Amino acid sequence: MAKMRVVQVPKAKGPFEIVEREIPQPGPGDVRIKVQACGVCHSDSVTKDGLFPNISYPRVPGHEVAGVVDAIGAGVKGWKLGDRVGVGWYGGHCGYCDSCRRGYFDMCLIDRQVTGISHDGGYAEYMVTPAVTLALIPDDVSPVDAGPLMCAGVTTFNSLRHSGAGPGDVVAVYGIGGLGHLGVQFAAKSGCRTVAIARGADKAELAKKLGAHIYIDSDKQDVAAELLKLGGAKAILATVTAADAMSAAFGGLALDGKLMVLGVPNAPIQVNPITAIFSRSAVRGWASGSSIDSQDTLRFSALTGVRPMTQVFPLEKANDAYDIMMSGKVRFRAVLTTGL
């Protein structure tokens, strides 16, 4: 049997190990992807650190996958060998729960599958995934650029378009990392008055290059007060991993503004009820999207020139790529490549 290299986590909080495995065969309804690139997302810590219950190990992380369809399982229609495809966090669904019947497959209540967590993901030369999870990659988007658009991209694009903010509105992106640097571009390309918020001055110039009209240094400035000087934010895409930072930004919302909670702090967010009442503002969580949302993200990016800023690592350097992401030093997305 032909072999492939994968990077697996042997147990919760275990190290990344590069191992050889047999190349898997796609079952009914599945396709096999020859992986070319896979972004390294902060949420890969779910697999690395065992943050969800019942993860079965060893597990291959990775939910920012870009590659080509390499084998097709029984019953799959509409995809052909060689199609350029991406796969994100959404890894499959039951098809009959209330959410699925409403078309919110990524919100499946009974069997929500997550790529790289419920089954093996893209830190690998090949992976098998349900055909329903595939997004078609436009010709002019490279695998290294497509990978991060499959999670960091769709999460910010899709939350922005469901936030109620539109052209001309003030949109703030809090936290300029993998998600945030794409959020800034999506907001700017959508015609929003775009505010980038990060700690320290060193990201100011890059944020402006990405399209931010205004930069707020959360170390030196009062985030809510600065946003209110602009009339308040119609939406804040909160990608930070700190609850206190999200809480402090809430007061910067405009009338009917929404704090879109994308980052996953491990503490509760606090909201001043008076602030909420007098601005009718809201806190809304958002999880990335389904495969058609990813495809929309890719199309919008192809059309408008939104691209991730990437640092590329070969698959065997997954550990270095993960560490630089976790340290906050990556500019702005680490991407693994297989050379295939």
User: Residues 142-181 vs Zn ion: string with x where CB under 5 A?
Assistant: ---------x------------------------------
Closest CA to 99 of 91, 88, 111: 111
Closer to ligand NAP by CB, 128 or 240: give it: 240
Closest CA to 236 of 196, 185, 265: 196
178 binds, among Zn ion, ligand NAP, none (CB under 5 to 8 A by kind): ligand NAP
Q: Is 116 in the site for ligand NAP (CB under 6 A)?
A: no
- Least Cβ distance, residue 262 to ligand NAP (angstroms): 4
Closer to Zn ion by CB, 41 or 233: give it: 41
- Vertex 331, ends 325 and 332: CA angle to 5°? 70
Q: Is 269 in the site for ligand NAP (CB under 6 A)?
A: no
Q: Is 119 in the site for ligand NAP (CB under 6 A)?
A: no
Strands (E) in 118-220, as ranges, are 126-130, 135-136, 170-174, 193-198, 214-217
Find out whether the peptide bond into 300 is cis, omega within 30 degrees of 0: no
Binder among 23, 37, 41, 321 for ligand NAP (CB under 6 A): 41
Strand partners, 267: none
C-alpha span between 261 and 132 (Å, rounded): 26
- Least Cβ distance, residue 62 to Zn ion (angstroms): 9
- Least Cβ distance, residue 332 to ligand NAP (angstroms): 7
Helix/strand/coil percent split, the chain, to 5: 30, 30, 40
How many chain residues are in contact with Zn ion, going by CB under 5 A?
3
Site for ligand NAP in 54-93 (CB under 6 A): none
Contact 55, 12 (CB under 8 A): yes
**HSE-up (13 A, CA, CB side) for residue 70:** 19
- Least Cβ distance, residue 89 to Zn ion (angstroms): 5
Stretch that binds ligand NAP, among 114-122, 138-146, 229-237, 257-265 (CB under 6 A): 257-265
Binder among 66, 146, 160, 198 for ligand NAP (CB under 6 A): 198
**208: part of which helix (H) or strand (E)?**
helix 204-209
Sequence-distant (6+) residues with CB within 8 A of 206 are 176, 181, 309, 331, 332
**Residue least distant from ligand NAP (Cβ):** 177
Q: What does the binding site for ligand NAP look like in residue numbers (CB under 6 A)?
A: 41-43, 151-152, 155, 175-180, 198-199, 218, 239-242, 245, 262-264, 286-288, 325, 328
